[in-house]
């Protein structure tokens, strides 16, 4: 208390010296403004890059658009000698490989997410599984491709042969599996999109309020009754958004697919035969192409961009519109 007195008296005496109205110097104001404009300029770079990508790809594809038009989407000729190009095989392959891989990956991913969020196993084990799935996402696509060529494809070939023997009468399994093909590409895509679906589903399930679970258990449901009737419906919008992001990723995935799909230019309904996707066609041919082939590849790239753009925007829309408000 005594130590306090001198201070207060001191303040009263020299208030003028302590608090003077300081005008900010022009240099400080300029620095402030300059920093703001700098961050603004660098932020707008995102929009500029996006626009530049669109313009570059569009400009590049104009020649092919003029000569092939929309026929490009439905014809399957890819003939550099006669300069006839159609991307049907690649577009079909992109859609089939990404959709079928999701059909396998969604149950696996959502099931795994439930397994590691719903208190079924000890916490340590849950965290370990979560970590491993996250690390799976970090493995480069090209390494997965290498593994697919030398380990996975030889290992699953007997199973694919069995599939051919049992279901060979349908057009989808009509050809004998002989190395690279659509089926191994689909499986490696499953491995690649699984971490995205698991991670997003896990976050979505973790965000479901604890009261909803408690309410469900309170009226006497079993654990899986609560999961199917309460928890999954509450989280479904984020899960669907995550699935669509994964679809976009699967469509654009390049390296692992290129290495194992066989890069065939001929149309084949059989999943056991070699196929092609837009991304793998780009990876294979872009370096060596010239003339109108570059333009045709740019046209295919434009289609891929539009596909992934649509899927990604839909994904954002789904998350925003369908999300339940608790």
Partner 1 sequence: MTRSTTQPANNASTDTTLFDRRPLSFDPSLRRNRLNGLFTFISGVFATLAVLPLVLVLVYVLVQGGRLISLRLFTELPPAPGLEGGGFGNAMIGTVLVTLIAALIAIPVGVAGGVYLSEYAGKSWFGQLVSFGNDVLAGVPSIISGVFVYGLIVASRVFFGQSYSAMAGGIALSVLMLPTVIKTTNEGLKLVPNELRLGAYGVGASRYVTITQVVLPAALTPISTGAVLAIARAAGETAPLIFTALFSAFWPEGIFNPIATMSVLIFNFAIMPYPAQNELAWAASFVLVMMILAANLLARWLSRLSKT
| Least distance between partner 1 and beta carbon 269 (Å) | 25
Measured from the CB atom, the residue of 61 and 270 that comes closer to partner 1 is: 61
Query: Which CB sits closer to partner 1, 174 or 237?
Result: 237
Contact 273, 263 (CB under 8 A): no
- Smallest distance, partner 1 to C-beta of residue 57, A: 6
Indicate the residue among 115 and 172 with the shorter CB distance to partner 1.
Answer: 115
> With respect to partner 1, which residue has the nearer C-beta, 29 or 71?
29
Say if strands 84-85 and 78-79 run parallel, antiparallel, or are unpaired: antiparallel
CA distance 298 to 63: 10
CB-hemisphere CA count at 13 Å for 227? 16
The DSSP call for residue 79 is E
Closest distance between partner 1 and the C-beta of residue 273, in Å? 19
326/183 Cα distance (integer angstroms): 42
Dihedral (C-alpha) 124, 130, 134, 139: value to the nearest 10 degrees? 70
Please give the Cα distance from 305 to 55 (Å, whole number): 12
In whole angstroms, how close is the CB of 107 to partner 1 at the nearest point? 7
Closer residue to partner 1 in complex, CB, 200/251:
251
Identify the three-state secondary structure at position 85: strand
Instruction: Please report how close the Cβ of residue 51 comes to partner 1 at its closest, in angstroms.
Output: 9
**Start-to-end C-alpha separation, the chain:** 54
């Amino acid at each position: 208390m005594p130590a306090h007195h001198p201070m207060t008296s001191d303040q009263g005496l020299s208030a003028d010296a302590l608090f003077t109205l300081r005008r900010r110097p022009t240099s400080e104001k300029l620095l402030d403004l300059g920093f703001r404009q700098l961050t603004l300029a660098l932020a707008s770079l995102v929009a500029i890059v996006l626009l530049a990508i669109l313009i570059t790809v569009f400009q590049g594809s104009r020649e092919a658009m003029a000569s092939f038009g929309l026929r490009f989407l439905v014809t399957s000729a890819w003939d550099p000698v006669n300069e006839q190009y159609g991307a049907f095989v690649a577009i079909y392959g992109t859609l089939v490989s990404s959709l079928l891989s999701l059909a396998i990956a969604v149950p696996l991913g959502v099931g795994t997410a439930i397994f590691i969020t719903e208190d079924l196993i000890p916490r340590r084990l849950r965290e370990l599984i979560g970590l491993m799935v996250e690390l799976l996402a970090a493995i480069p696509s090209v390494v997965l491709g290498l593994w697919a060529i030398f380990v996975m494809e030889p290992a699953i070939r007997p199973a694919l042969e069995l599939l051919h023997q049992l279901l060979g009468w349908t057009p989808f399994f009509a050809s004998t599996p002989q190395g690279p093909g659509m089926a191994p590409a689909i499986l490696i895509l499953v491995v690649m999109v699984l971490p995205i679906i698991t991670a997003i589903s896990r976050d979505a399930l973790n965000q479901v309020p604890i009261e909803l679970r408690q309410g469900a258990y309170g009226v006497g449901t079993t654990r899986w009754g609560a999961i199917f009737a309460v928890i999954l419906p509450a989280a479904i919008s984020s899960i669907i958004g995550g699935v669509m992001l994964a679809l976009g990723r699967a469509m654009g995935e390049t390296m692992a697919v290129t290495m194992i799909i066989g890069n065939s230019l001929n149309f084949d309904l059989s999943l056991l035969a070699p196929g092609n996707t837009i991304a793998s066609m780009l990876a294979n041919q872009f370096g060596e192409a010239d003339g109108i082939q570059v333009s045709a590849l740019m046209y295919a790239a434009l289609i891929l961009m539009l596909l992934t753009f649509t899927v990604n925007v839909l994904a954002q829309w789904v998350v925003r519109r369908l999300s339940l408000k608790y």
